[in-house]
Amino acid sequence: MSASRYAVFGHPVAHSLSPRIHSEFGRQTGIALDYTAIDAAPADFAATLERFVAEGGQGANVTLPLKELAYGLSAHLSERARRAGAVNTLARRDGQWLGENTDGAGLVRDLTERHGLDLRGRRVLLLGAGGAARGVAPALLEAGATEMVIVNRSPTRADALSDVLGEPGRVTTRYWEDLGAQGDFELIVNATAAGRRADDLPLTLPSSLVNSMTAAVDLNYGEAAIAFLAWARAAQCRYAIDGLGMLVEQAAESFELWHGVRPQTDLVYRGLRERDALLVSAD
């Protein structure tokens, strides 16, 4: 029997760890699958996805900058994807795409199960309002955050995210330059892409954001997470966590949607962590 076809689409995508993660899940569960990385510029994404289907593609992950386009190409949407306005997982259902967003569930599972954090009652600062922030914000609220302050380089995008979340008393937006007047937070999530490009300036954050409980979480991992995690340690955050665990957990959610089996994530996570000394975690 030939292996079923899956892929991650992005632009660029060559460095994605998803092919490795899904191959390991497949080996572990005894499911034969062929999972590749496919580079598609936004203008070519729809046609590339159609070709993938014609060649037997049954499911896809979607990463930067294609998540909102994937949302538009989905005939059906899960509640999580609808709320996020972004899709990171596509599953073939009756000849059409079902769009799902597993980022939020992946982050919450990593923080609560792997790192043992209780998110209930936390005051959350969310930095960023792009696709990843849209994915994780509803999940953090569902996990029990009492209050969420969203700050983004482009303030209108932060306002748009706050509107989608629809909880005006609980979710507010602030300007970056006013961060010093917002008090302290038990959870600070960096969902920006600052740090991915060598010429990005580090985020400027006051240490007054930090209290004795603060967990600082970067959705980035590897080199892109170094600056934020260095700030978190210097500011004496109790936890400084990168996005590698979330990456593995959101992949497991996708895998379960496609194959109906939940893979074990710890071995895969530890393998990736050991593989690259740059992937740092200080919790």
Does a cis peptide bond (omega within 30 degrees of 0) precede residue 12? yes
Question: Where in 108-156 does DSSP place strands (E)?
Answer: 123-127, 147-151
Burial class (CB in 10 A: 0-12, 13-18, 19+), 2: exposed
Contacts within 8 Å (CB) and 24+ apart, 77-84: 80/104, 80/105, 80/135, 80/138, 80/139, 83/138, 83/164, 83/165, 84/131, 84/134, 84/135, 84/137, 84/138
Single out the catalytic residue among 67, 83, 122, 134. Answer: 67
Query: Closest separation between CB of residue 234 and ligand NDP, Å?
Result: 19
Give the span between the Cα atoms of 270 and 272, in whole angstroms: 5
- The yes or no reply on residue 191 touching ligand NDP (CB under 6 A) is yes
* Active site annotation includes 67: yes
- The yes or no reply on residue 152 touching ligand NDP (CB under 6 A) is yes
Query: Closest separation between CB of residue 55 and ligand NDP, Å?
Result: 26
149 three-class SS? strand
- Only one residue has tokens 């709320």, namely 83
Window 8-47: contact mask with ligand NDP (x via CB under 6 A): ----------------------------------------
- The yes or no reply on residue 265 touching ligand NDP (CB under 6 A) is no
- The yes or no reply on residue 60 touching ligand NDP (CB under 6 A) is no
Of 67 and 259, CB closest to ligand NDP = 67
Residue sitting closest to ligand NDP (CB):
130
Query: Which H/E stretch holds residue 98?
Result: strand 96-100
Query: Closest separation between CB of residue 251 and ligand NDP, Å?
Result: 8
Please, are residues 173 and 122 in contact by the beta-carbon 8 Å criterion? no
Identify residues 132-151 at the interface with ligand NDP (CB under 6 A).
132-133
Strand order in the sheet with 76-77: 33-39, 4-10, 57-62, 89-93, 96-100, 76-77
Of 59 and 243, CB closest to ligand NDP = 243
Select from 59, 128, 138, 222 the one that contacts ligand NDP (CB under 6 A): 128
- The yes or no reply on residue 173 touching ligand NDP (CB under 6 A) is no
- The yes or no reply on residue 93 touching ligand NDP (CB under 6 A) is no
Please, are residues 182 and 209 in contact by the beta-carbon 8 Å criterion? yes
Identify residues 215-244 at the interface with ligand NDP (CB under 6 A).
219-221, 224, 243
Residues at the interface with ligand NDP (CB under 6 A): 64-65, 67, 103, 106, 128-133, 152-154, 157, 191-194, 196, 200, 219-221, 224, 243, 246-247, 250
Active site residues: 67
